[in-house]
Amino acid sequence: MLRGATFVRHAMPEVDATRPPGEWILSSDGINAAAALQLEALAASAVSSPERKAVQTVALALRLPESAVATAVSFREVDRVESVHDGFRDARRAWIAGRLDERHEGWETPDAAARRFHEGLLAQDARHVVVGTHGMVLTAWLASQGLVADAVAFWEALRFPDVVEIGIPLLRVRAVLTDADGRFVLIKRARPGQEPYWTTPGGGVMLDDASADDALRRELHEELGAEVELGEIVLERQLDSIHSEVFYAARLTSIDPTLADGPEFDDPSRGAYEVEVVTLDELRTLDLRPSELKELLLAQR
């Protein structure tokens, strides 16, 4: 089962206007930079985008012949119709930010790119995999998993080449949060055309979070404007082969909704988020998800 992934953004290629970018090979500086990564100690399985510059980068970093690097189209760069012009980077920034317009006609959407990248990762059966890939599609996937807070800033900071390490399972953290009266602080989710349901507050652990505890405190501040005291883990569950979720007991010490500034509040497509405080009796009547958490809470009271 996959326990870790090392993503390698390819090194600098030799630009060749007579060939499509997928056939570009590394420049001499790119070859040296890829070899300097020295990832051979990982003893990992190797897979890459089919683009030659990505295959070369992984092979050099792992001290392998190119023939030893498997290829998977899931890890290719974003499909797009693009010419290099004065504003091409602005168009890419807008794509990464999810602000698609007429410049992106014929482009793969960020969601579609992230989805097929994710499917490619799910297909890996090694314990650790090194993935040769590209800046835009990698950033889209990391953002879709909640692993980066500012996707544009992350993408702009990526180097040629660059390395991003993640541990697996990817962790989501949530709080079974109670106030001074023992009531549960929940998030009511309402989406057009669907019945409402309730969840506990929390979210994904980002690459720059120091720990799962820090990630949960950050999420509670973003979603609720809350400060809390964290307690023990009350539930752990595996979501799929690369995601798990942990629920912590937590006690509310202060809350100021005016401080809530999570990204979900800026995206109407996600539906409505409402903070509700409910008693145990009220909890019995709600569609609290996941259902096993509701069963656990009712059994303990």
User: What's residue 20's pLDDT?
Assistant: 87
Domain match, 191 and 254 both: yes
Single-letter amino acid code for the residue at 219: E
User: What's residue 181's pLDDT?
Assistant: 96
Here the CATH number for the domain that contains residue 291 is 3.90.79.10
User: What's residue 6's pLDDT?
Assistant: 97
Domain match, 272 and 261 both: yes
Listed residues 105, 132, 167: the one ending a domain: 167
Q: What are the residues whose beta carbons fall under 8 Å from the beta carbon of 106, sequence distance 6 or more? A: 80, 81
Residue position matching structure tokens 């897979």: 47
Domain match, 139 and 244 both: no
Phi-psi domain of 58 (left: phi exceeds 0; alpha: psi -120 through 50; beta: other): alpha
- Token output for 188: 């009511």
Q: Is 190 helix (H, G, I), strand (E, B) or coil?
A: strand
Domain match, 47 and 129 both: yes
Domain match, 157 and 190 both: no
Domain match, 136 and 273 both: no
**CA distance readout (Å), 11 to 6, 78, 188:** 15, 17, 45
Q: Could you give the residue ranges of the DSSP H alpha helices within the chain? A: 28-35, 52-62, 88-96, 110-122, 135-144, 151-157, 212-224, 280-284, 291-300
| pLDDT mean by block of 10 residues, the chain; 301 residues | 93 92 95 96 91 98 96 97 81 96 95 97 93 98 95 98 95 97 96 92 94 96 96 95 95 94 66 92 97 95 69
Residue position matching structure tokens 């309730």: 198
Domain match, 201 and 244 both: yes
Domain match, 13 and 146 both: yes
- For the chain, how many structural domains are there in total? 2
Listed residues 167, 194, 221: the one ending a domain: 167
Listed residues 167, 194, 209: the one ending a domain: 167
Here the CATH number for the domain that contains residue 36 is 3.40.50.1240
Sort 1 into a burial class: Cβ within 10 Å, 0-12 / 13-18 / 19+: exposed
Sort 94 into a burial class: Cβ within 10 Å, 0-12 / 13-18 / 19+: middle
User: What's residue 42's pLDDT?
Assistant: 86
Closest CA relative to residue 44, chosen from 12, 13, 77, 5: 5
State the Cα–Cα distance between residues 31 and 56, nearest whole angstrom.
8
Domain match, 196 and 160 both: no
User: What's residue 269's pLDDT?
Assistant: 63
User: What's residue 225's pLDDT?
Assistant: 95
User: What's residue 266's pLDDT?
Assistant: 60
Domain match, 94 and 127 both: yes
- Where in the sequence is the domain holding 211, given as residue range(s)? 170-300
- Token output for 172: 């989501």
Domain match, 86 and 150 both: yes
Domain match, 98 and 113 both: yes
